[in-house]
Every structure is written in C-alpha cells, then in structure tokens.
Amino acid sequence: ETGVTQTPRHLVMGMTNKKSLKCEQHLGHNAMYWYKQSAKKPLELMFVYNFKEQTENNSVPSRFSPECPNSSHLFLHLHTLQPEDSALYLCASSQGVDSGRAVTGELFFGEGSRLTVL
C-alpha cells in the first residue's frame, strides 16, 4: 500500500469509447503525475500537476485529457484511442513545489491501470 490508489486496474475499450482513469492519493502531496509504460519503452512522463496547476504536457495527443480537481485527485479522460495506446498507465505523487522551490523527493506510484484498446 503506497497511499496512491488507481482505478480501474484493468480496462478494455474500443476505439470509439470514452472512459476515464482515476487516481487518488492520501499522502498530502502537492504534485501528481501520469506516466505511460509500454513494453520495450521507458516510462514516459505524460502530465504533471503541481498545486492543481498543469505544469507539464509532454506533447501528449489530445485524445488524452487530464483533470486535477484538487491536489488529492487526478483523472485521465480517454476518447477515440488507438490500439498503440494500449499500455500500463501509472499515477504518481510527490511533495511537489514548496514556497516556489522545487522539492525533488520520492515518487509514490499507484499499481497502475492496464489499458487495452481494441
């Protein structure tokens, strides 16, 4: 139990479906992240939110839409995905920025949501 919970753990969707991945952290952290993990590729940073503000968007296609309503919750809305989007999507949190200074601390990961796009 890392304090970061992701749901659902497994998701199968067609290319025309709309679904969402949810992440919740109980650690009091201020930064939350979405990473994509595909076979034979490094963990890819997708989005970073710090204090609910999006600070990174790593050239992610618009069919992925993040939402961070508060510092404890993070969503990834999915629509018209492609089969190559099938991967493990990992959510993580960290302490984040404090008083304007970045705090490079530990990343706490959830167990991931395994997405299969048919």
The answer to whether the CB of 103 falls within 8 A of the CB of 97 is: yes
CB of 31 to other proteins, least distance (A): 6
For other proteins, give the closer residue by CB, 41 or 84: 41
For other proteins, give the closer residue by CB, 29 or 81: 29
Characterize the bridge pairing of strands 10-13 and 18-25: unpaired
For other proteins, give the closer residue by CB, 31 or 117: 31
Instruction: Please give the residue ranges that form the binding site for other proteins (CB under 8 A).
Output: 2, 4, 31, 33, 35, 42-43, 45, 48, 50, 56, 90, 92, 94, 96-97, 101-112
The answer to whether the CB of 36 falls within 8 A of the CB of 46 is: yes
Which DSSP state fits 63? T
CB of 82 to other proteins, least distance (A): 23
Give the Cα separation of 54 and 31 in Å (integer): 10
CB of 80 to other proteins, least distance (A): 27
CB of 15 to other proteins, least distance (A): 26
Give the Cα separation of 68 and 75 in Å (integer): 6
